[in-house]
Amino acid sequence: MFEEIKSQVAQQIDLFCLANNLPTGKVEFRDIPFSGEWGMAAPLFPLAAADPNKTGAVPQHAQYLAERLKDIIGLPEGFTRTEALRGYLNLYFDTGLYAASVIDQINDRGKDFGSAASTGKTVMVEYSNPNTHKPLHVGHLRNVILGGSVCSILEASGKNVIRANYIGDIGLHVIKWMCNYEMYHAGEQPAEDKMRWMADLYSEADRRFHEQEGFEESVREYFARWDAGEEQIHDLWLQTRQWSMEGFNQVYGLLGEHFDRIYFESDVEESGKELVDQLIKSGMAIDGRPENPVIVDLDAIVGTKEEYRVAVILRSDGTSLYATKELPLAIMKFEEYDLDQSIYVIDVRQSLHMKQMQKMLELMGYSWASRMKHLAYEIVNLPGNVIMSSRDGTVVLLDDLVREATQRALEVVREKNPELDPTIMQDVAQKVALGAIKYPMISRENTKIVTFDWDTALDFNGQSAPYIQYANVRANSILRRAGDLGEAESKFSYPLEASEINLIELLSKLPDEISKAARDFRPSTLAAYAYELAKAFNDFYNQCQVLKAEGDIRASRLALVRATRSCLEKTLNLLGIQAPQVM
Among 166, 226, 470, 540, binds ligand ARG (CB under 6 A): 166
Contacts of 383 (CB under 8 A, 6+ apart): 451, 453
Q: Which amino acid is at 334?
A: F
Binding mask 67-96 for ligand ARG (x = CB under 6 A): ------------------------------
Number of residues lying near ligand ARG (CB under 6 A): 9
Q: Across the strands, what pairs with 84?
A: 89
**In whole angstroms, what separates CA 412 from the centre of its chain?**
28
Exposure of 308 by Cβ count < 10 A (0-12 exposed, 13-18 middle, 19+ buried)?
A: buried
Q: Which residues in 285-324 contact ligand ARG (CB under 6 A)? A: none
| Cα gap 6→32, rounded to integer Å | 14
| The one-letter amino acid at 353 | H
- Residue 101 or 132 with smaller CB distance to ligand ARG: 132
**Minimum CB–partner distance for residue 331 and ligand ARG (Å):** 12
Q: How far is the CB of 267 from ligand ARG (least distance, A)?
A: 12
- The residue from 93, 177, 334, 344 that contacts ligand ARG (CB under 6 A) is 344
Closer Cβ to ligand ARG, 145 or 346, answer by number: 346
Provide, rounded to whole angstroms, the least separation between the CB of residue 329 and ligand ARG.
6
| 346 binding ligand ARG? (CB under 6 A) | yes
**266 binds ligand ARG, rule: CB under 6 A:** no
The alpha carbon torsion through 362, 363, 364, 365 (nearest 10 deg) reads 60
CB of 522 to ligand ARG, least distance (A): 20
Do 23 and 13 form a contact (C-beta atoms < 8 A)?
A: no
Comparing CB distances to ligand ARG, the nearer of 245 and 329 is: 329
165 binds ligand ARG (CB under 6 A): no
Distance CA 114, CA 158 (A): 10
**Is the backbone of residue 22 left (phi > 0), alpha (psi -120 to 50) or beta?**
beta
326 binds ligand ARG (CB under 6 A): yes
Q: Which residues 112-131 are close enough to bind ligand ARG by CB under 6 A?
A: 126, 129, 131
Which is nearer to ligand ARG, 39 or 328 (by Cβ)? 328
Of 97 and 354, the one with the shorter C-beta distance to ligand ARG is 354
Q: Is 248 in the site for ligand ARG (CB under 6 A)?
A: no
Buried b / exposed e across 349-372, counting CB within 10 Å, b at 16+? eeeebbbbbbbbbebeebebbebb
DSSP-derived secondary structure for 265-334: GGGSHHHHHHHHHHHHHTTSSEE-TTTS-EEEEHHHHHT-SSSS-EEEEE-TTS---HHHHHHHHHHHHH
135 sits near ligand ARG (criterion: CB under 6 A): no
Helix (H) or strand (E) holding 162: strand 160-167
Bond preceding residue 422 cis, omega within 30 of 0 = no
* 78, 148, 168, 171: which one binds ligand ARG (CB under 6 A): 168
Residues 270, 268: Cα–Cα separation, whole Å: 6
Residue 571 near ligand ARG by CB under 6 A: no
**Cβ 302 to ligand ARG shortest distance, Å:** 21
Alpha helices in 444-509 (DSSP H): 454-457, 465-482, 498-508
Which of 345/405 has CB closer to ligand ARG? 345
The nearest distance, CB 146 to ligand ARG, in angstroms, is: 13
199 sits near ligand ARG (criterion: CB under 6 A): no
Minimum distance from residue 130 beta carbon to ligand ARG (Å): 6
Cβ count within 10 A of residue 155: 18
Q: Is the Cβ of residue 91 or residue 380 nearer to ligand ARG in the bound state?
A: 380
Of 356 and 525, which CB lies nearer to ligand ARG in the complex structure?
356
Query: Which residues bind to ligand ARG, rule: CB under 6 A?
Result: 126, 129, 131, 166, 168, 326, 329, 344, 346
